[in-house]
Amino acid sequence: MVGPFEEIIEPPLADAQTIADVEAHPWPDPDWFDYDGLRPTCEALSEYALVIRDPGPNATCVLRLAMFLRGMERFMMDLAMNPDLARAIIARVEEFYLEFDRRIFEAVGDLTDIYFIADDVGLQNGLMISPGMFRKFIKPSLRRFIAQAKEYGQKVMYHTCGAVRPLIPDFIEMGVDILNPIQVSARGMEPAGLKQDFGDALCFHGALDIQAVLSQGTPDQVRAEAARLCQVLGEGGGFILAPTNNVMPETPVENILALYEVLQA
């Protein structure tokens, strides 16, 4: 993807004080959506690998959408100080996505290949929330999303930026097949170590750094890093080379072309 990131300015649940306030929010209904056009679209693209990616701020997610709805600081405080309110928000998010996804799977699950979920839990130097809080509040919903996708024969691709190495065993246990974007500049996300420890259980997608290499390097540096990643993460298979996130507008076109040269080699 090319372009800036979405920013939420006014979280709609910022002033919620009670579970009743959460329930009073005008939550979306899967009935609002028309699924009839999905099948002819997928049939017309049958020669490609097809990915189910829900609309919204970041595809199917729990923590990220809860923070968008409540505000990041407020929801983080809720997890620690008002867990019942946090659970109420999570429950409504999960309820919508489970049914929305089910209808998509019923419509085109026999034609699609990958189910994409995206719930950022990492920062540059560590996790956004503790492993314990992830397992208590977020993991159960993600596990149910993934289990449903597996029932319809989908491989599961999970996006999370940041230093998420401590949670990779949880991702594998949840049923994740492909991990994206492998933010190699984050703490503990060195490609060789990830391949050694988790390469037998995961396919890695991404890993070409947009923070320095793609945005600020030379075309030769981009080619060299892309080739190195293919050698390290691609040994024995299980690697899809891609940028570690959206390609920003200031990225030199020559660097993007250099990446494609390696991909096509």
CATH of the domain at 146: 3.20.20.210
More reliable by pLDDT, 248 or 187 = 187
pLDDT over threshold 50, residue 57: yes
pLDDT band at 55 (very low <50, low <70, confident <90, very high): confident
The verdict on 96 and 210 lying in the same domain is: no
The verdict on 234 and 162 lying in the same domain is: no
Asked if residue 111 is part of any domain, the answer here is yes
pLDDT band at 131 (very low <50, low <70, confident <90, very high): very high
Supply the pLDDT for residue 258: 97
The verdict on 58 and 155 lying in the same domain is: yes
Asked if residue 15 is part of any domain, the answer here is no
pLDDT in tens, 212-226: 999 999 999 999 999
What's the structural domain count of the chain? Answer: 2
pLDDT in tens, 132-145: 999 999 999 999 99
The verdict on 132 and 226 lying in the same domain is: no
Q: How distant, in Å, are the alpha carbons of 151, 208, 233, 239 from that of 256?
A: 38, 11, 20, 19
How large a percentage of the chain has pLDDT more than 90? Answer: 92
The verdict on 119 and 222 lying in the same domain is: no
pLDDT in tens, 192-241: 999 999 999 999 999 999 999 999 999 999 999 999 999 999 999 999 99
The verdict on 135 and 222 lying in the same domain is: no
Domain span holding position 81:
49-180
Asked if residue 43 is part of any domain, the answer here is no
pLDDT over threshold 60, residue 2: no
Average pLDDT (89-115) is: 98
Out of 180, 200, 235, a domain closes at 180
Supply the pLDDT for residue 1: 41
Quick one: how far is CA 37 from the chain centroid? 25
Average pLDDT (55-74) is: 88
Burial of 154 (0-12, 13-18, 19+ CB in 10 A): buried
Claim: this prediction has a pTM higher than 0.85: yes
The verdict on 174 and 204 lying in the same domain is: no
The verdict on 81 and 140 lying in the same domain is: yes
Out of 129, 147, 180, a domain closes at 180
Amino acid in position 225: E
Out of 137, 155, 180, a domain closes at 180
Looking at every residue in the chain, the average pLDDT score rounds to 95
Question: What distance in Å separates the CA atoms of residue 141 and residue 1, rounded to the nearest whole number?
Answer: 27
